[in-house]
Structure 1
Amino acid sequence: MINNILRSFLVLFFIFFTITANANDRTLIFSAIPDQNQSQLNQRFTKIATYLSTTLNIPVKYVPVKSYAAAITAFRNNQVQLAWFGGLSGVRARSSVVDSEAIAQGKEDTEFVTYFIAHHSTGLKKSAQLPDSFAGKNFTFGSKGSTSGRLMPEFYLRERFKKSPSELFNRVGFSGNHSRTIALVQTGAYQLGAVNYKVWENELSNGKIDPEKVSIIWKTPSYPDYQWSVRGDIDTVWGKGFKNKIKNALLNMKDPALLEAFPRSAFISADNDDYLPILHTAKKIGLID
């Protein structure tokens, strides 16, 4: 009888040890929308992976993707369990995985803005509204799936001119990311563009913008943007309470070097309802059915 009890105990211990070991051997994988130069993103998110690995006491790996659509697909297919999305990409990604949630956002992401920028040859100056002389010029958005580089600027263009971008401009492009938008307008390849204000300010502080060649002419009203989102099955796979562990790790990220890489002053709590304005705007201009 004692031998049977001991044998049962050893079996249960072995099962528990195996489950625990497998959990510790698993790697949490995360990604992010490619909104800037990839080398900048690799530098930023490799540091974040190290921070999360140490804080969560598990292996954490950052995996880069080539497009906004690829980030959403990776999230949907469980190739990544956590992602740094823009407002629109986050809405799309969470809708593809039941019970997925936005859990944290930058303090600045509650009131994000887009800058409309112009090459000096246009003669355009900063103004209180988008100027009538926009019509007929060349314009570049960022990525087709970008909140700050496409969704919100297109919404405000349509609201101001009552025309689609293709009707308003002589030529419309999609640069792919905000850094490239700035570069294209600065060189004059495009006369006008729309860019994430955080990327603009970061590039300006790093000496990559020549104010004599390109400048801000208008900024949008504020809107919610970037956020960290987790898959809806995160607790089922990783154990009860794991989602909150990730959230707390992000909210407790205090290292100025890590925050500056985004750049954000802090991360604060977020939820899906914060991004309903993005969903409604996307539906209004036909980017989401």
Structure 2
Amino acid sequence: MRFLRTIAAAAACLLSAAAASAETLYFSAIPDEDATALTARFSKIADYLSGKLGVDVRFVPVKSYPAAVTAFTNDQVQLAWFGGLTSVQARLRNPGARSIAQGREDTDFVAYLIANTATGLQPSADFPMNAKGMSLTFGAKTSTSGRLMPEYHVRKATGGAPEAFFSTVGFSGDHSQTLRLVASGAYQLGFLNYAVYDKAAADKAPEIETARVIWKTPPFPDYNWVIRGDADKRFGEGFTQKVQDALVGMTDPDLLASFPREAFIPATNEEYAPIEQTAKELGLLE
């Protein structure tokens, strides 16, 4: 009888392991550029993670920054590449969720303030107070580098809200669109992720000819990978560590260029406390 119970227990364990391995890990990313580009970028990451983790991994595109947080909260995705603010929002809504990896560059991220060349504004180490009365677009409303930290520094430099300093304040939705809007003259200035601008410059994108960097923010922590707190229960003990190891162990230059990052390093929730504090000060957290 004891032998039969042992066999039954072993079979149950095997079935449990098989069920875990049959699970699909879904992940998403904040849509900080065009959806087509995002899908191309992250489909390769899905293949890489699937090979390292031994489970089916699929990328799920979303239409907006809030949609990325909602997908994570509703368990439509179990892993996500968030910006600093969206990572905080997602973790606050999902107790137990963890920031597990960040780009080496994400510990000291910056945002660029770009200006249409017709404004005559020149690059400066100080915030351009002579931009008063001009039009400005941020990126997405919950973008760390496209809105949160830029607004914080605008308030710090001008002593008031952006709407009190600029003639018009808009939200483009993503960094690539901010670059296009400023280059076309639809807005005179815009804040965006420095990496998006630098890549456009390296690719010799035509927008660079009429949109120049005139200022950059002080550094702040930004993008990071966040995993749900129930990942080990669903995929097996130690799965969260396996995901972190896979991300930190990513060395293929082509895969890293998808972000773009030189490498990934471990991350912790505590590193994003400054983002949480700034978001609370600006009323961007529920």
- State which drifts further: 90-99 or 14-23: 14-23
User: Which residue is equivalent to 1:132?
Assistant: 129
TM-superposed CA distance for 1:125, in Å, is 0.4
Uncovered stretches (5+) of structure 1, i.e. residues with no partner: none
Q: Map Cα deviations across residues 177-203 of structure 1 (whole Å, 9 max, x no partner).
A: 000000000000100000100111112
CA deviation vs aligned residue, 1:69-124 (integer Å, no higher than 9, x gap): 01101111111111000000000100111111100000000000000000011100
Name the counterpart of 1:19: 16
**1:229 Cα deviation (Å)?**
0.6
Alignment partner, residue 55 of structure 1: 52
Tell me which residue corresponds to 1:216.
213
The match for 1:83 among 80, 83, 86 is: 80
Provide the rounded CA distance (Å) in 1 between the counterparts of 2:208 and 2:142: 28
Q: Distance between the aligned counterparts of 2:243 and 2:13, measured in 1? A: 23
Partner of 1:162: 159
Root-mean-square deviation (CA), in Å?
1.3
- How much does 1:138 deviate? 0.8
Describe the SS at the equivalent of 1:15. helix
Correspondence 1:90-109 to 2 at 5 A: 90-109=87-106
**SS at structure 2 position matched to 1:268:** strand
In structure 2, how many angstroms separate the alpha carbons of the residues matched to 1:157 and 1:61? 39
Structure of larger gyration radius: 1
Within-5 A mapping of 1:111-150: 111-150=108-147
Q: Which residue of 2 aligns with 1:189?
A: 186
Report deviation, 1:246: 0.3
Q: CA deviation at 1:5?
A: 5.3
Separation in 2 of the partners of 1:110 and 1:92? Answer: 19
The Cα of 1:18 is off from its aligned counterpart by: 2.2
Residue 172 of structure 1, CA deviation:
1.0
Q: CA deviation at 1:251?
A: 0.5
User: Match of 1:29, SS?
Assistant: strand
Q: Which of 32, 37, 40 in structure 1 is aligned with 2:29?
A: 32
Alignment of 1:254-269 (within 5 A): 254-269=251-266
> How far off its partner does 1:236 sit?
2.0
**Contiguous gaps of at least 5 residues in structure 2:** none
Could you state the TM-score of these two structures normalised by the residue count of structure 2? 0.96
Q: TM-score, normalised by structure 1?
A: 0.95
User: By how many angstroms is 1:286 displaced?
Assistant: 2.0
Query: 1:287: Cα distance to partner?
Result: 1.6
Number of positions where the alignment pairs a residue of Structure 1 with one of Structure 2: 286
Question: % of aligned pairs identical?
Answer: 49
The CA distance in 2 between the partners of 1:252 and 1:128, in whole Å, is 37
Aligned mate of 2:276, from 274, 279, 282: 279
Instruction: Give, in angstroms, the shift of residue 15 of structure 1.
Output: 2.3
- State how far apart, in whole Å, the 2-side matches of 1:13 and 1:211 are: 63
